[in-house]
Amino acid sequence: MTEIVLASASAARQAMLRQARIPFTVIPARVDEEAIRQSLDHEGASPRDVADTLAEYKARQVAGKHPNALVIGCDQVLDFKGRVFSKPETKEDARGQLQALQGAAHQLLSAVVIYEDQKPVWRMIGKVKLTMRALSEDYIDAYLDRNWPGLSDSVGAYKLEEEGARLFLRIDGDYFTVLGLPLLDLCGYLTNRGIIEG
Which residues are tagged catalytic? 75
Let me know the angle formed at the C-alpha of 124 by 120 and 127, rounded to the nearest 5 degrees: 155
Distance from C-alpha of 24 to C-alpha of 71, rounded to nearest angstrom: 10
Contact of 52 with 113, CB cutoff 8 Å: yes
Please count the other Cβ atoms lying within 10 Å of the Cβ belonging to residue 83: 10
Specify which residues 126 forms β-bridges with: 110
User: What Cα–Cα distance (Å) separates residue 161 from each residue in 45, 93, 120, 166, 179?
Assistant: 30, 21, 31, 10, 8
Quickly list DSSP for 56-104: HHHHHHHHTT-TTSEEEEEEEEEEETTEEE---SSHHHHHHHHHHHTTS
